[in-house]
Structure 1
Amino acid sequence: MDVTGTSQIPRQRGERLVDTAVRYAEERHWDVLAGAWLEPVAGVERCSCAAADCPSPGAHPLGRDWVNQATGSPVVVRRMWATNPHASILLPTGRTFDALDVPESAGCLALARMERRNVELGPVTSTATRRMLFFVLPGGAAKSPELVRNLGWPPDAIDLVARGEGDYVVAPPTRVGRHGPVQWARRPTAANRWLPDAEELVSALAYACGRDGRRESG
Protein backbone atom coordinates (compact mmCIF):
# COMPACT_ATOMS: atom_id res chain seq x y z
CA MET A 1 0.00 0.00 0.00
CA ASP A 2 1.54 3.32 -1.05
CA VAL A 3 -0.40 6.52 -1.59
CA THR A 4 2.43 9.00 -2.11
CA GLY A 5 3.75 8.33 -5.60
CA THR A 6 7.45 8.87 -6.20
CA SER A 7 9.56 8.11 -3.14
CA GLN A 8 12.61 9.95 -1.93
CA ILE A 9 13.84 6.56 -0.74
CA PRO A 10 12.71 4.25 -3.58
CA ARG A 11 12.61 0.57 -2.92
CA GLN A 12 14.40 -1.21 -5.74
CA ARG A 13 13.75 -4.86 -6.57
CA GLY A 14 16.68 -6.86 -5.26
CA GLU A 15 18.14 -3.89 -3.41
CA ARG A 16 20.45 -4.86 -0.57
CA LEU A 17 19.29 -4.07 2.96
CA VAL A 18 22.49 -2.15 3.60
CA ASP A 19 21.76 0.24 0.73
CA THR A 20 18.31 1.00 2.13
CA ALA A 21 19.72 1.47 5.63
CA VAL A 22 22.39 3.84 4.32
CA ARG A 23 19.80 5.96 2.51
CA TYR A 24 17.73 6.25 5.69
CA ALA A 25 20.82 7.75 7.33
CA GLU A 26 21.88 9.89 4.38
CA GLU A 27 18.53 11.16 3.06
CA ARG A 28 16.48 11.40 6.28
CA HIS A 29 19.27 11.72 8.85
CA TRP A 30 17.68 8.90 10.85
CA ASP A 31 19.75 6.85 13.26
CA VAL A 32 19.86 3.22 12.14
CA LEU A 33 20.49 -0.05 13.95
CA ALA A 34 21.20 -3.52 12.59
CA GLY A 35 18.86 -5.99 14.29
CA ALA A 36 18.26 -9.74 14.38
CA TRP A 37 17.43 -11.51 11.12
CA LEU A 38 15.78 -14.66 9.84
CA GLU A 39 17.88 -17.66 8.91
CA PRO A 40 16.89 -21.16 7.70
CA VAL A 41 17.27 -23.96 10.25
CA ALA A 42 16.24 -27.46 9.15
CA GLY A 43 14.05 -25.96 6.42
CA VAL A 44 12.33 -23.50 8.78
CA GLU A 45 13.15 -19.83 9.19
CA ARG A 46 14.23 -19.02 12.72
CA CYS A 47 15.36 -15.82 14.42
CA SER A 48 19.12 -15.38 14.48
CA CYS A 49 18.92 -14.96 18.28
CA ALA A 50 18.21 -18.73 18.44
CA ALA A 51 15.39 -18.32 20.96
CA ALA A 52 12.65 -20.82 20.15
CA ASP A 53 10.01 -18.52 21.67
CA CYS A 54 11.34 -15.25 20.20
CA PRO A 55 8.39 -12.80 20.23
CA SER A 56 9.72 -10.77 17.26
CA PRO A 57 11.58 -13.16 14.95
CA GLY A 58 14.07 -11.29 12.80
CA ALA A 59 13.06 -7.87 14.06
CA HIS A 60 14.62 -6.88 17.38
CA PRO A 61 17.94 -5.46 18.67
CA LEU A 62 20.89 -7.79 18.99
CA GLY A 63 22.07 -6.69 22.43
CA ARG A 64 21.19 -4.72 25.54
CA ASP A 65 23.36 -1.77 24.53
CA TRP A 66 21.53 -1.22 21.25
CA VAL A 67 20.56 2.36 22.18
CA ASN A 68 24.23 3.38 22.06
CA GLN A 69 24.97 1.35 18.94
CA ALA A 70 22.41 3.09 16.72
CA THR A 71 24.10 5.54 14.37
CA GLY A 72 23.44 8.14 11.71
CA SER A 73 26.84 7.61 10.08
CA PRO A 74 26.60 5.92 6.67
CA VAL A 75 30.15 4.59 7.15
CA VAL A 76 29.23 2.89 10.43
CA VAL A 77 25.95 1.63 8.95
CA ARG A 78 27.87 -0.09 6.14
CA ARG A 79 30.21 -1.60 8.72
CA MET A 80 27.21 -3.02 10.65
CA TRP A 81 25.79 -4.77 7.60
CA ALA A 82 29.21 -5.95 6.44
CA THR A 83 29.21 -8.04 9.61
CA ASN A 84 25.55 -9.12 9.32
CA PRO A 85 24.35 -8.58 5.72
CA HIS A 86 20.89 -10.04 6.43
CA ALA A 87 20.26 -7.92 9.53
CA SER A 88 16.88 -6.26 9.95
CA ILE A 89 16.68 -2.46 9.80
CA LEU A 90 15.61 -0.85 13.07
CA LEU A 91 15.06 2.88 13.62
CA PRO A 92 15.28 4.16 17.22
CA THR A 93 12.44 6.46 18.25
CA GLY A 94 12.81 9.47 20.52
CA ARG A 95 15.59 10.99 18.41
CA THR A 96 14.52 12.43 15.05
CA PHE A 97 10.97 11.10 15.33
CA ASP A 98 8.47 9.31 17.58
CA ALA A 99 5.77 6.98 16.30
CA LEU A 100 2.08 6.48 17.06
CA ASP A 101 1.28 2.78 16.64
CA VAL A 102 -2.34 1.69 15.99
CA PRO A 103 -4.21 -1.32 14.54
CA GLU A 104 -4.24 -1.37 10.75
CA SER A 105 -8.03 -1.03 10.53
CA ALA A 106 -7.97 2.08 12.73
CA GLY A 107 -4.92 3.44 10.91
CA CYS A 108 -6.58 3.18 7.50
CA LEU A 109 -9.71 4.90 8.82
CA ALA A 110 -7.69 7.70 10.41
CA LEU A 111 -5.47 8.08 7.35
CA ALA A 112 -8.47 8.56 5.06
CA ARG A 113 -10.03 11.03 7.47
CA MET A 114 -6.84 13.08 7.79
CA GLU A 115 -6.28 13.14 4.04
CA ARG A 116 -9.81 14.50 3.53
CA ARG A 117 -8.97 17.26 5.99
CA ASN A 118 -5.59 17.95 4.32
CA VAL A 119 -3.67 17.16 7.50
CA GLU A 120 0.08 17.26 6.87
CA LEU A 121 1.38 13.74 7.47
CA GLY A 122 4.84 12.28 7.84
CA PRO A 123 5.89 8.77 6.80
CA VAL A 124 3.62 5.90 7.84
CA THR A 125 4.57 2.23 7.95
CA SER A 126 2.30 -0.77 7.60
CA THR A 127 3.34 -4.09 9.12
CA ALA A 128 2.32 -7.60 8.16
CA THR A 129 1.13 -8.00 11.76
CA ARG A 130 -1.61 -5.50 10.88
CA ARG A 131 -0.30 -2.40 12.60
CA MET A 132 0.29 1.10 11.24
CA LEU A 133 2.86 3.52 12.66
CA PHE A 134 2.59 7.27 12.09
CA PHE A 135 5.86 9.21 12.41
CA VAL A 136 5.62 12.42 14.44
CA LEU A 137 8.00 14.93 16.00
CA PRO A 138 10.16 13.76 18.92
CA GLY A 139 8.38 14.24 22.24
CA GLY A 140 5.05 13.10 20.82
CA ALA A 141 5.12 9.83 22.74
CA ALA A 142 5.54 11.57 26.09
CA LYS A 143 2.52 13.84 25.65
CA SER A 144 0.30 11.37 23.81
CA PRO A 145 -1.40 9.94 26.97
CA GLU A 146 -2.43 13.44 28.12
CA LEU A 147 -3.68 14.32 24.64
CA VAL A 148 -5.80 11.15 24.63
CA ARG A 149 -7.18 11.93 28.10
CA ASN A 150 -8.10 15.44 26.98
CA LEU A 151 -10.20 13.87 24.24
CA GLY A 152 -12.16 11.91 26.85
CA TRP A 153 -10.42 8.55 26.45
CA PRO A 154 -8.54 6.76 29.24
CA PRO A 155 -5.19 5.97 27.52
CA ASP A 156 -5.50 2.26 28.33
CA ALA A 157 -8.99 2.09 26.82
CA ILE A 158 -7.83 2.36 23.22
CA ASP A 159 -5.11 0.52 21.30
CA LEU A 160 -2.83 3.47 20.61
CA VAL A 161 0.83 2.81 21.50
CA ALA A 162 3.23 5.75 21.59
CA ARG A 163 6.84 4.85 20.79
CA GLY A 164 9.44 7.31 21.99
CA GLU A 165 12.78 7.41 23.77
CA GLY A 166 14.23 3.95 24.41
CA ASP A 167 12.03 2.25 21.81
CA TYR A 168 12.34 1.53 18.10
CA VAL A 169 10.38 0.74 14.97
CA VAL A 170 11.09 -1.87 12.32
CA ALA A 171 11.78 -0.25 8.96
CA PRO A 172 10.86 -1.43 5.45
CA PRO A 173 11.68 -3.76 3.81
CA THR A 174 12.48 -5.89 6.91
CA ARG A 175 10.56 -9.16 7.13
CA VAL A 176 9.04 -10.03 10.50
CA GLY A 177 8.93 -13.78 10.98
CA ARG A 178 6.43 -15.58 8.79
CA HIS A 179 4.23 -12.49 8.59
CA GLY A 180 6.08 -10.80 5.74
CA PRO A 181 7.76 -7.44 5.16
CA VAL A 182 7.12 -4.07 6.72
CA GLN A 183 5.99 -1.64 4.00
CA TRP A 184 5.43 2.08 3.59
CA ALA A 185 1.80 3.21 3.63
CA ARG A 186 3.20 6.71 3.05
CA ARG A 187 6.83 6.71 1.93
CA PRO A 188 9.44 9.22 3.06
CA THR A 189 9.53 12.03 0.50
CA ALA A 190 10.91 15.53 0.29
CA ALA A 191 7.38 16.79 0.93
CA ASN A 192 7.05 15.07 4.30
CA ARG A 193 10.54 15.70 5.65
CA TRP A 194 9.00 18.04 8.25
CA LEU A 195 7.02 15.87 10.63
CA PRO A 196 3.70 16.76 12.24
CA ASP A 197 3.28 17.21 15.97
CA ALA A 198 1.47 14.34 17.71
CA GLU A 199 -1.28 16.77 18.66
CA GLU A 200 -2.21 17.13 14.99
CA LEU A 201 -2.86 13.39 14.60
CA VAL A 202 -4.02 12.09 17.98
CA SER A 203 -7.64 13.18 17.62
CA ALA A 204 -8.18 11.23 14.37
CA LEU A 205 -6.19 8.23 15.61
CA ALA A 206 -7.96 8.07 18.98
CA TYR A 207 -11.38 8.35 17.31
CA ALA A 208 -10.50 5.57 14.86
CA CYS A 209 -9.10 3.33 17.62
CA GLY A 210 -12.20 3.87 19.74
CA ARG A 211 -14.50 3.07 16.84
CA ASP A 212 -12.37 0.03 15.98
CA GLY A 213 -12.53 -1.20 19.57
CA ARG A 214 -16.29 -0.86 19.75
CA ARG A 215 -16.68 -2.83 16.53
CA GLU A 216 -14.49 -5.66 17.84
CA SER A 217 -16.25 -5.81 21.21
CA GLY A 218 -19.60 -5.83 19.47
Structure 2
Amino acid sequence: MTLTLPHAPGPRAFGSAADVTADGATWLTSAETYPRRVLADWRARPHEPAVLSCGSAFDVVSVPAVFGRRMVDRLWHEGPGSGPVALHRGRVLLFAAPGTAQRLPSLLRWEEWGSAVPSLLCHGAGDAVTVPPLARGDHDRHGSRWVVAPDTRSPWLPGPEVVLWACVRAARGTAEPAVGISIFPSGDQSAKVYDVSRRR
Protein backbone atom coordinates (compact mmCIF):
# COMPACT_ATOMS: atom_id res chain seq x y z
CA MET A 1 0.00 0.00 0.00
CA THR A 2 1.32 3.47 -0.86
CA LEU A 3 0.90 5.95 1.97
CA THR A 4 0.76 9.68 1.31
CA LEU A 5 2.82 11.90 3.58
CA PRO A 6 0.78 14.27 5.72
CA HIS A 7 1.12 18.01 6.07
CA ALA A 8 0.37 18.03 9.80
CA PRO A 9 3.02 18.58 12.46
CA GLY A 10 4.16 15.67 14.57
CA PRO A 11 2.47 14.92 17.87
CA ARG A 12 3.68 16.46 21.09
CA ALA A 13 4.30 14.34 24.14
CA PHE A 14 1.13 12.30 24.32
CA GLY A 15 -0.09 13.77 27.60
CA SER A 16 0.51 17.40 26.63
CA ALA A 17 -2.05 19.72 25.10
CA ALA A 18 -1.89 21.73 21.89
CA ASP A 19 -3.91 24.77 20.77
CA VAL A 20 -6.04 24.96 17.64
CA THR A 21 -5.00 27.75 15.24
CA ALA A 22 -7.52 30.17 13.68
CA ASP A 23 -7.32 28.26 10.37
CA GLY A 24 -7.78 24.97 12.22
CA ALA A 25 -10.90 26.28 13.97
CA THR A 26 -12.28 27.46 10.63
CA TRP A 27 -11.77 23.98 9.20
CA LEU A 28 -13.37 22.24 12.21
CA THR A 29 -16.52 24.36 11.99
CA SER A 30 -16.74 24.17 8.18
CA ALA A 31 -18.92 21.06 8.46
CA GLU A 32 -21.66 22.97 10.28
CA THR A 33 -24.72 24.45 8.58
CA TYR A 34 -23.87 27.88 10.01
CA PRO A 35 -20.09 27.73 10.46
CA ARG A 36 -19.57 31.44 11.18
CA ARG A 37 -22.05 31.41 14.04
CA VAL A 38 -20.55 28.22 15.51
CA LEU A 39 -17.03 29.64 15.17
CA ALA A 40 -18.05 32.94 16.82
CA ASP A 41 -19.69 31.08 19.72
CA TRP A 42 -16.65 28.84 20.15
CA ARG A 43 -14.21 31.76 20.06
CA ALA A 44 -16.28 33.49 22.72
CA ARG A 45 -15.73 30.43 24.95
CA PRO A 46 -12.35 29.03 23.80
CA HIS A 47 -11.87 26.93 26.94
CA GLU A 48 -15.09 24.95 26.44
CA PRO A 49 -15.50 21.81 24.31
CA ALA A 50 -17.76 21.96 21.26
CA VAL A 51 -20.05 19.49 19.53
CA LEU A 52 -19.35 19.28 15.79
CA SER A 53 -20.91 17.38 12.92
CA CYS A 54 -19.07 14.55 11.16
CA GLY A 55 -19.32 13.27 7.62
CA SER A 56 -18.53 16.22 5.36
CA ALA A 57 -15.25 17.81 6.50
CA PHE A 58 -14.07 14.82 8.53
CA ASP A 59 -15.03 11.52 10.14
CA VAL A 60 -13.83 10.58 13.62
CA VAL A 61 -12.67 7.16 14.80
CA SER A 62 -12.89 6.90 18.60
CA VAL A 63 -10.58 4.31 20.17
CA PRO A 64 -9.85 3.30 23.81
CA ALA A 65 -6.98 5.47 25.07
CA VAL A 66 -4.18 2.90 25.40
CA PHE A 67 -4.83 1.28 22.02
CA GLY A 68 -5.31 4.71 20.44
CA ARG A 69 -1.95 5.84 21.73
CA ARG A 70 -0.34 2.78 20.12
CA MET A 71 -2.09 3.59 16.85
CA VAL A 72 -0.85 7.19 16.89
CA ASP A 73 2.68 6.03 17.74
CA ARG A 74 2.60 3.60 14.78
CA LEU A 75 1.25 6.28 12.44
CA TRP A 76 4.02 8.72 13.33
CA HIS A 77 6.98 6.32 13.73
CA GLU A 78 6.28 3.74 11.00
CA GLY A 79 3.64 5.29 8.79
CA PRO A 80 2.57 8.53 7.14
CA GLY A 81 1.61 10.47 10.27
CA SER A 82 -1.92 11.42 11.27
CA GLY A 83 -4.47 14.13 10.92
CA PRO A 84 -5.71 15.93 14.02
CA VAL A 85 -5.86 13.77 17.16
CA ALA A 86 -7.62 14.52 20.44
CA LEU A 87 -8.11 12.88 23.82
CA HIS A 88 -11.63 13.01 25.22
CA ARG A 89 -12.89 11.18 28.32
CA GLY A 90 -10.55 8.21 28.10
CA ARG A 91 -10.69 7.78 24.33
CA VAL A 92 -8.48 8.89 21.45
CA LEU A 93 -10.29 10.68 18.63
CA LEU A 94 -8.57 10.17 15.28
CA PHE A 95 -9.80 12.60 12.63
CA ALA A 96 -10.07 10.79 9.31
CA ALA A 97 -11.18 11.41 5.75
CA PRO A 98 -14.95 11.50 5.14
CA GLY A 99 -16.21 8.00 4.35
CA THR A 100 -13.80 6.29 6.76
CA ALA A 101 -16.54 5.64 9.33
CA GLN A 102 -18.58 3.72 6.79
CA ARG A 103 -15.72 1.70 5.26
CA LEU A 104 -13.48 0.88 8.25
CA PRO A 105 -15.77 -1.61 10.06
CA SER A 106 -16.09 -3.81 6.95
CA LEU A 107 -12.33 -3.69 6.36
CA LEU A 108 -11.75 -4.81 9.96
CA ARG A 109 -14.16 -7.73 9.53
CA TRP A 110 -12.08 -9.02 6.61
CA GLU A 111 -8.74 -8.45 8.33
CA GLU A 112 -6.99 -11.37 10.03
CA TRP A 113 -6.12 -9.21 13.04
CA GLY A 114 -9.49 -7.45 13.15
CA SER A 115 -10.69 -9.45 16.16
CA ALA A 116 -7.67 -8.21 18.16
CA VAL A 117 -8.75 -4.57 17.72
CA PRO A 118 -10.82 -3.23 20.66
CA SER A 119 -14.21 -1.68 19.99
CA LEU A 120 -13.99 1.31 17.71
CA LEU A 121 -16.68 3.96 17.47
CA CYS A 122 -16.83 5.28 13.92
CA HIS A 123 -18.57 8.65 13.58
CA GLY A 124 -19.57 9.67 10.06
CA ALA A 125 -22.47 11.27 8.21
CA GLY A 126 -25.34 12.07 10.56
CA ASP A 127 -23.15 11.81 13.69
CA ALA A 128 -21.64 14.45 15.93
CA VAL A 129 -18.69 14.38 18.33
CA THR A 130 -17.56 16.46 21.26
CA VAL A 131 -14.14 17.94 20.56
CA PRO A 132 -11.69 19.59 22.98
CA PRO A 133 -11.53 23.35 23.59
CA LEU A 134 -9.77 25.63 21.13
CA ALA A 135 -7.19 26.66 23.70
CA ARG A 136 -5.49 25.00 26.64
CA GLY A 137 -6.98 25.87 29.94
CA ASP A 138 -8.62 23.83 32.61
CA HIS A 139 -8.71 20.85 30.22
CA ASP A 140 -8.60 18.32 33.04
CA ARG A 141 -12.05 19.49 34.10
CA HIS A 142 -13.38 18.28 30.75
CA GLY A 143 -10.99 15.34 30.30
CA SER A 144 -10.33 16.72 26.85
CA ARG A 145 -7.27 18.02 24.96
CA TRP A 146 -5.69 18.13 21.52
CA VAL A 147 -2.62 15.97 20.88
CA VAL A 148 -2.27 17.01 17.22
CA ALA A 149 -4.31 20.20 16.91
CA PRO A 150 -5.78 21.35 13.59
CA ASP A 151 -3.60 24.13 12.22
CA THR A 152 -4.73 24.56 8.59
CA ARG A 153 -7.93 24.91 6.57
CA SER A 154 -7.18 21.70 4.69
CA PRO A 155 -5.36 19.21 6.92
CA TRP A 156 -4.23 15.83 5.61
CA LEU A 157 -6.60 13.15 6.85
CA PRO A 158 -5.94 9.40 6.78
CA GLY A 159 -8.45 7.29 4.88
CA PRO A 160 -9.86 3.92 5.94
CA GLU A 161 -6.88 1.93 4.61
CA VAL A 162 -4.39 3.98 6.64
CA VAL A 163 -6.50 3.73 9.82
CA LEU A 164 -6.83 -0.03 9.22
CA TRP A 165 -3.04 -0.27 8.82
CA ALA A 166 -2.57 1.53 12.16
CA CYS A 167 -5.15 -0.74 13.86
CA VAL A 168 -3.41 -3.88 12.60
CA ARG A 169 0.06 -2.63 13.56
CA ALA A 170 -1.13 -1.70 17.04
CA ALA A 171 -2.93 -5.05 17.47
CA ARG A 172 0.08 -7.05 16.29
CA GLY A 173 2.35 -5.05 18.59
CA THR A 174 0.27 -6.00 21.62
CA ALA A 175 -0.03 -9.71 20.74
CA GLU A 176 1.91 -12.22 22.82
CA PRO A 177 5.22 -13.18 21.22
CA ALA A 178 5.10 -16.51 19.41
CA VAL A 179 6.31 -19.47 21.43
CA GLY A 180 9.24 -21.21 19.73
CA ILE A 181 8.80 -24.97 19.50
CA SER A 182 11.74 -27.16 18.57
CA ILE A 183 11.59 -30.71 17.21
CA PHE A 184 14.86 -31.47 19.00
CA PRO A 185 15.27 -32.31 22.68
CA SER A 186 16.92 -29.45 24.52
CA GLY A 187 20.30 -31.22 24.66
CA ASP A 188 20.44 -32.14 20.96
CA GLN A 189 20.21 -28.81 19.11
CA SER A 190 23.11 -29.70 16.78
CA ALA A 191 21.59 -32.94 15.44
CA LYS A 192 21.65 -33.29 11.66
CA VAL A 193 18.36 -33.43 9.82
CA TYR A 194 18.09 -35.32 6.53
CA ASP A 195 15.46 -34.88 3.86
CA VAL A 196 13.82 -38.30 3.55
CA SER A 197 11.11 -37.27 1.10
CA ARG A 198 11.12 -39.27 -2.13
CA ARG A 199 12.03 -37.26 -5.20
CA ARG A 200 10.35 -38.03 -8.50
1:203 and 2:165 aligned: yes
The residue identity in structure 2 corresponding to 1:30 is T
CA distance 1:85–1:209, change in 2 (3 Å): same
Please name the residue that 1:37 is paired with: none
Shift in alpha-carbon separation, 1:88–1:189, aligned structure 2, 3 A: closer
SS in 1 for 2:29: coil
Q: Please identify which structure carries the higher helix content.
A: 1
Closer, same or farther: CA 31–72 of 1 in aligned 2, 3 Å = farther
Normalised by the length of structure 1, the TM-score is 0.57
Distance 1:170 1:72 in 2: 17
Corresponding position of 1:91: 52
Confirm whether residue 116 of structure 1 aligns to residue 115 of structure 2. Answer: no
State the AA in 2 paired with 1:146: S
SS of the equivalent of 1:195 reads coil
Q: Percent identity?
A: 26
1:50-94 alpha-carbon deviations (Å, 9 max, x no partner): xxxxxxxxxxxxxxxxxxxx43531x2267569999974111111
Counterpart-to-counterpart distance in 1, 2:71 and 2:104: 16
Which consecutive aligned stretches of 4+ in structure 1 deviate over 4 angstroms post-superposition? 78-88, 153-157, 209-214
Give the deviation of 1:182 after TM superposition: 1.4
Provide the residue aligned with 1:161 in structure 2: 121
Q: 1:171 — aligned with what?
A: 131
Unpaired segments of 5 or more residues in structure 1?
11-19, 33-69
Task: Count matched residues.
Answer: 160
CA distance in 2: counterparts of 1:191 and 1:29, whole angstroms:
8
1:142 and 2:102 are equivalent in the alignment: yes
Q: Which residue of 2 aligns with 1:42?
A: none
Task: Tell me which amino acid in the other structure corresponds to 2:71.
Answer: A
> Larger relative contact order (C-alpha < 8 A, sep ≥ 6)?
2
SS across alignment from 1:145: helix
Q: Deviations over 1:30-62 (max 9, x none)?
A: 346xxxxxxxxxxxxxxxxxxxxxxxxxxxxxx
Structure 1 or 2: more strand by fraction: 1
Q: Give the TM-score taking structure 2 as reference length.
A: 0.62
Q: CA RMSD in A?
A: 4.0
Equivalent pair of 1:145/1:155 in contact (CA under 8 Å): no
Code of the aligned partner of 1:194: W
Q: CA deviation at 1:114?
A: 1.6
The residue type paired with residue 149 of structure 2 is: R
Partner of 2:198: none
